[in-house]
Amino acid sequence: MYTVGILTISTSGSSGNRVDKSGPTLRDMISSEDFNVTLEKIIPDDFELITATLINWSELTNLILTTGGTGFGKDDVTPEATEKILDRKSIGLSELMRRETYKFSPMSSLSRGISGTLGSCLIINLPGSPQGAKESLSVIQNLIPHILETMSQQIENHTN
């Protein structure tokens, strides 16, 4: 079983001025016999807090799904904060999400979200809207088990 953290990045959500619907949507989608959501949190659009949370959670989970902060607003810094801490980028995952969700909404091409690894954790930035997060995750959800399996094999091979 893989452990999952769902990090909602929203200043208005963290202050209680907006109800988070994206985080629960992702939890419902990813929770299964193979994935156990062990961490969930809403934090403001704060570069240092995002990086610190991702670093901390990467040591506790196999997968972190972020939602929010991927647009063009001045406070949207999720991709930059994520990129700062990644060991390796996975450009293909993010491009696949944008390309496939464009079929539902041309606005999906405005997501600046990125994906990659930090240690043995896969981190994926998803849009902040519940529909955008849902559509994006649905595009790559079937790939995640293979990615995590491959990552765990690499770790085992390095320790033997």
State residue 153's pLDDT score.
84
d(CA 62, CA 96): 21
- pLDDT score for 131: 95
pLDDT along the chain (160 residues), means of 10: 97 90 97 95 98 98 97 96 98 96 91 97 97 97 96 64
Q: What are phi and psi of 103, to 5 degrees?
A: -65, -30
pLDDT of residue 154: 59
Q: Give the Cα-Cα-Cα angle 53, 54, 55 (nearest 5 degrees).
A: 90
**pLDDT at position 124, please?**
98
Q: Output the pTM of the full model.
A: 0.94
Give the chain's domains with CATH numbers: 2-159 (3.40.980.10)
Name residues whose C-beta falls within 8 Å of residue 50's C-beta, 6 or more positions apart in sequence: 7, 9, 43, 66, 69, 77, 78, 81, 82
Instruction: Return the residue matching tokens 């491009």.
Output: 95
pLDDT score, position 155: 54
